[in-house]
Structure 1
Amino acid sequence: MAPAVGVGHRPLGMAASRLELNLVRLLCRCEAMAAEKRDPDEWRLEKYVGALEDMLQALKAQSSKPTSEVINEYSRKVEFLKGMLQAEKLTSSSEKALANQFLAPGRVPTTAKERVPATKTVHLQSRARYAGEMRSELLGKNISGEPELDVRKRMVSEPRPVDEKQSAAELDLVLQRHQDLQEKLAEEMLGLARSLKTNTLAAQTVIKKDNQTLSHSLKMADQNLEKLKTESERLEQHTQKSVNWLLWAMLIIVCFIFVSMILFIRIMPKLK
């Protein structure tokens, strides 16, 4: 059966490109390989995931690329496969389990015959496998199930029920430590959240006061500007009024001098 291109998000009447078809086929192949049990020296899946990244970048650069939801789903699945390969390279089972928890599998099946996304199935299988490995390590066994040297010594020196009880106690102690650590981290995160909330409220109060001060300053500046305009108009009117009075006074003085000169000439006798 051909893959359901666009994982259910492609609009009707919109055909898939050849590059997208190849990407979906290779993605289905990678999901199938990830679900199978592989040898530690298996290298093909890593090469296939690298090819998926190149094809995804080329698909994003195409002019007739699919919708953003389809691109995001492809990217989500490719990043999941890449993160799963990186988690498998870790040495400790606890580190693998922790890295596996942060992986985000695909939300939509890749092919039409899938009811549950293949990446989600792979995620659940890897989580169960890493949990089993952690339990085996905590019980004093390696991945292949062979007893370690110190466990052999305890088995020789002590009865088996005591050894099982001690292993169970050690497992409970480790789990309790992990739980205490998680509670401590949760308390620290809660304290940081409270501190951030307090700082945010304080900053909000300061900003509100600054806004009020700025508004008052703007209002005072507008009032001062209005007063300045009023005083300027009054000064201009006063200046114009003073100039008019001075002009009339000078005209009156000139006229008075002119009339006085004429009268002086008429009254005084002429020189012989």
Structure 2
Amino acid sequence: MVLSRQEINVRRLLARCELMCKSKEDHLEKYLESLEDMLQGLRRQPDVSIESIKNYQKRVMNLKGALGITTSKYDEFTDPQAMREDLLGLRHRNTAQGPNLKDLDQAIRYHEDIQKNVTEEMLNFAKTLKEQSKLANKIIRKDTEVVANSTQLTEQNFSKLSVESAKLAEHSKRAWKCWMWLILAAVVIVFINMVLFMKVAKKTK
């Protein structure tokens, strides 16, 4: 079944009000008043099913209940006879007092633009966060490589130092042995000289 423009607007505004109720946006009560006016006009259209009107009215009442609103501008929907009576007696008045569909479309487009901007900002934020994460990971990888290279260089220097220390210890050991032999040779030479000196001294006497 093809929906009328007014019923399409009722559905759009009703869906928008339900989203606003979930996000607890301001001015929801004002939109509910407009929605009630539109629903009242929709009740006078013979091509709209009773079940659809009851469903719309139930959703409006749920929204008003969520806001703690207990009053209503219009009587609750009853039967088709009441609709026909309203259509015959009050069509002109309700048409004059009905909502401005142009303003309604502008309000809906305004909220859609806000949601679109919020979505774009979220996407840009996610993109920026992703780029920053990549940059941070790149910096961390560089720092890790520097630390690894420094550790490797330290190990190499330690190995070289150990080798040089071993060589120095071996050289010191050899030098100590050389000095010991020199001292021993000097003692032997002095001893021999003393013996010879004593013999020469005896012959002189």
TM range (shorter): 0.5 to 0.7
Per-residue deviation, 1:174: 1.8
Q: Which letter does structure 2 place at the counterpart of 1:98?
A: S
TM-score by length of 2: 0.57
Any conservation in 1 of the 2:21–2:63 contact (CA below 8 Å)? no
- With over 3 angstroms needed to count, the CA separation of the structure-2 counterparts of 1:270 and 1:184, relative to structure 1, is same
Q: Which letter does structure 2 place at the counterpart of 1:210?
A: D
Larger Rg: 2
Alignment match, 2:162: 229
SS in 2 for 1:146: coil
Measure the CA separation in 1 of the matches of 2:61 and 2:204. 142
Any conservation in 2 of the 1:93–1:130 contact (CA below 8 Å)? no
Alpha-carbon displacement from aligned partner over 1:43-91 (angstroms, at most 9, x marks no partner): xxxxxxxxxxxxxxxxxxxxxxxxxxxxxxxxxxxxxxxxxxxxxxxxx
Measure the CA separation in 2 of the matches of 1:219 and 1:175. 66
Measure the CA separation in 2 of the matches of 1:99 and 1:202. 38
Correspondence 1:195 to 2:128: yes
More helix by share: 2
SS in 1 for 2:202: coil
TM-score by length of 1: 0.44
Percent identity between the aligned chains?
A: 25
Measure the CA separation in 2 of the matches of 1:184 and 1:143. 35
Alpha-carbon displacement from aligned partner over 1:147-181 (angstroms, at most 9, x marks no partner): 7xxxxxxxxxx964354351x32322221111111
Q: Report the RMSD for the aligned CA atoms in angstroms.
A: 3.2
- With over 3 angstroms needed to count, the CA separation of the structure-2 counterparts of 1:191 and 1:132, relative to structure 1, is same
Per-residue deviation, 1:132: 5.3
Per-residue deviation, 1:270: 6.2
Alpha-carbon displacement from aligned partner over 1:209-240 (angstroms, at most 9, x marks no partner): 11111111111001000000000000000001
For structure 2, the residue ranges without an aligned partner over 5 or more in a row are 1-16, 26-57, 75-91
Alignment match, 1:177: 110
For structure 1, the residue ranges without an aligned partner over 5 or more in a row are 1-91, 101-126, 135-141, 148-157
Equivalent pairs counted in the alignment come to 137
Measure the CA separation in 2 of the matches of 1:269 and 1:197. 107
Correspondence 1:164 to 2:98: yes
